[in-house]
Amino acid sequence: MMHSILRFLFVLLLVIKPLTAAADNTILILGDSLSAAYGLKQEQGWVKLLQDKYDAEQTGVQLINASISGETTGGALRRLAGLLEEFQPSHVLVELGGNDGLRGFPIKKLQENLIALINTSKEADAKVAIMEIQIPPNYGPRYTGLFTDSFSSVAEKTDSHLMPFFVLNVATDSTLMLNDNIHPNKDAQPILRDVMYKSINNWLAD
């Protein structure tokens, strides 16, 4: 009888362990159009392509794409509490700030919002990564420099993981961009997937 019970428990553990592993790394992606597959079908975007890759590898990483085209740090902050409650992520990736910069929002407000996004996520027991964002230089060297430096500064202040800007190399190749020269096209998405596969895996192993 005892042997049968032990065997049952062993089999149960084999079943439960994969289910638990599948929930170990649930990553909420708070992004803008760069992660929202702007101008493309959702299945063509890098997030869906990366999820397909993780599924094929059976690594147990689940990506929750909460990205919205045109999103700002302030807009995401208003949505965050609800997203954290709904999905209960183990990790939150903040890929935001580009629209703040393009609209010339004050640097201080950008930093305050980023810190609030990070602190709110950490209060929900999520690990946080913040992506460094870069904007075109036509806003002037002072604003552009302060803008870019904000991300490493916030990451250091909040003890968060700093992730490199994932479209940097793609953005310099016109054949990989839509006609607006701002958003990566369909051909760029597998490249972005591979960049983010490396960056996210480095983050998870950190």
Range of the domain at 51: 25-205
Question: Is residue 76 pLDDT above 60, yes or no?
Answer: yes
CATH number at residue 68: 3.40.50.1110
Higher pLDDT, 60 or 2: 60
Where does residue 7 rank: exposed (0-12), middle (13-18), buried (19+ CB within 10 A)? exposed
Examine residue 5 and state whether it is found in any structural domain, yes or no: no
Examine residue 20 and state whether it is found in any structural domain, yes or no: no
pLDDT in tens, 117-154: 999 999 999 999 999 999 988 889 999 999 999 999 99
Q: Whole-prediction pTM value? A: 0.88
Examine residue 12 and state whether it is found in any structural domain, yes or no: no
Taking CB atoms within 8 Å and a gap of at least 24, the contacts of 52-56 are: 53/193, 53/197
- Cβ-based neighbours of 54, under 8 Å, separated by 6 or more: 60, 61, 62, 63
Domains of the chain: total:
1
Rounded CA separation 166/95 (Å): 10
Question: Is residue 73 pLDDT above 60, yes or no?
Answer: yes
pLDDT in tens, 3-58: 544 444 333 333 433 433 445 799 999 999 999 999 999 999 999 999 999 999 99
Question: Is residue 105 pLDDT above 70, yes or no?
Answer: yes
Confidence of residue 93 (pLDDT cuts 50, 70, 90): very high
Confidence of residue 201 (pLDDT cuts 50, 70, 90): very high
- How confident is the model at residue 23, as a pLDDT? 52
Examine residue 184 and state whether it is found in any structural domain, yes or no: yes
Examine residue 154 and state whether it is found in any structural domain, yes or no: yes
- How confident is the model at residue 138, as a pLDDT? 87
- Mean pLDDT over the full length of the chain: 91
Catalytic residue numbers? 33, 180, 183
Examine residue 19 and state whether it is found in any structural domain, yes or no: no
Higher pLDDT, 9 or 73: 73
